[in-house]
Structure 1
Amino acid sequence: MKIAIGSDHAGFDYKEEIIAYLKELGHEVQDFGPSTADSVDYPDFAHPVATSIENAKNELGVLICGSANGVAITANKHQGIRAAIAWQNEIAALARQHNNANIICIPARFVDLELAKKITQTFLTTDFEGGRHANRVNKIACS
């Protein structure tokens, strides 16, 4: 699977570890940065991740910042993006099953690295259920 990933400085270390983990699992990962843990502005990385999914250059995305709120708000400005914040595996699964989320946003300051990896794996391996949820998801988009 082709996966886009980005973070801010608070999520940088997790980003690097999750990239390595995803590559071990055989995924193709496009890293949108940052390239260091120096202080950065999260929109500079969340927008390109979202754009790559909008343009079908990547299938799903992972964004990581301190609370996950900033990257989620930024990504959700893009038409067709459904970015969900997850701090537990079950929330990551429900974001895919019920909301057809295409970007998972992880709060690095509130979950440990192992849980962040599990959340990412759950997100990537869970399918959208469709059915009654499809109508609801279709109502999300603004024309």
Structure 2
Amino acid sequence: MKCPFCNSGDTKVVDSREFINGNSIKRRRECLVCKKRFTTYEKIEERALYVIKKDNSREKFDRNKIIRGLTIATSKRNISRDEIEEFVLKIERKLQNSLESEISTKYVGELVMEELKKLDEVAYVRFVSVYKEFKNIKDFIEIIEDIKGNK
């Protein structure tokens, strides 16, 4: 690892810690030439995931889109930002483990709904109502009846 201050290749690791729930490592390093310290992050390189949208266009998977949807669905619920991050990490792991490089938005939506139902039923209903584009109160009643029936 090159020192960002003097460009020397002589550095040593002073401290290593798990970062983001063990999915990466944060290292404190010290340059043996100029003695300055700096931080580096190590993360597993994951293969690129692409999402196939309803109109058959492709775009790179963006975890922030899931975070935005969950933030709205969980507003005024007792769910922290860390829980949302952990939730999205779980979804990402499932997608990476599927060994597919292209996934449909439908599959991503189904995964999110499945996990959200376990986390918070109100947030689940909110998310589903937007995702499935509910048109009337009947749609809400059906999803609530489904939740009640599964208990």
TM-score bracket for the superposition, by shorter chain length? under 0.3
Q: Normalized against structure 1, the TM-score is what? A: 0.27
Q: Normalized against structure 2, the TM-score is what? A: 0.26
Larger radius of gyration: 2
Q: More strand by proportion, 1 or 2?
A: 2
